Amino acid sequence: MRNFLLFALISGALLNSCTLDPECEWTDLYADFESYEFTTDLEQTNIVLLTPEFDPNIELFEPYIIRSDSAYDALTQFSRDEECPYCVYPEIDFDEYTLIGFSTEISCLATNYLKLTSTPEGWRYALKTVDETQCNQLLCDNFSFNWILLPKAADTMDISFETGLARYFCDC
């Protein structure tokens, strides 16, 4: 009986110290993204590959610039060898396009937004993650390369990559 009372007192103290209605504040850590122009005559492409947990050649949070058939074949080789049933490998004419991407893994309630902008220094690939998650981190396989096709007519030699985040910070 004494152990039960001790357990009840400790449990009551812990329950009273929990915040059931947390205070959350929305913070945009990448506000510059909103001021960037977006080049509208670009194409997104839906390449689906095995994720980094399966393919040891894929790096998370790394930029990818694919300019040739041989580089594209090297990128997709592991997924093809493993006969990935859900993978997608669209035909890309690398005489016409450069394939640009940045690999990310985000929470289930997050969304990536992409802007590719021509600047005096070259191209700016800006990727903003907006995460609506509050207090809990939902785990799911939310991996993406965020691919876009840039016409070869554009000078693709200088491409800078920027990433940023807007999310809730809570006292959970």
Q: What is the mean pLDDT of residues 121-135?
A: 92
pLDDT tens digits, residue range 29-79? 999 999 999 888 788 888 888 888 888 888 889 999 999 999 999 999 999
- Residue 9 pLDDT exceeds 70: no
Summarize the confidence of residues 124-153 as an average pLDDT: 86
Residue 163: predicted pLDDT: 96
Mean pLDDT computed over 89-99:
94
Average pLDDT, the chain: 85
pLDDT score for 138: 65
> Between 53 and 89, where is the model more confident?
89
Q: Which residues pair with 118 in a beta bridge?
A: 123
**Higher pLDDT, residue 53 or 128:** 128
Residue 124 confidence (pLDDT)? 95
Q: What is the pLDDT of residue 16?
A: 47
pLDDT beyond 50 at 25: yes
pLDDT at residue 157, as a whole number: 84
Over 80: is that where the pLDDT of 10 sits?
no
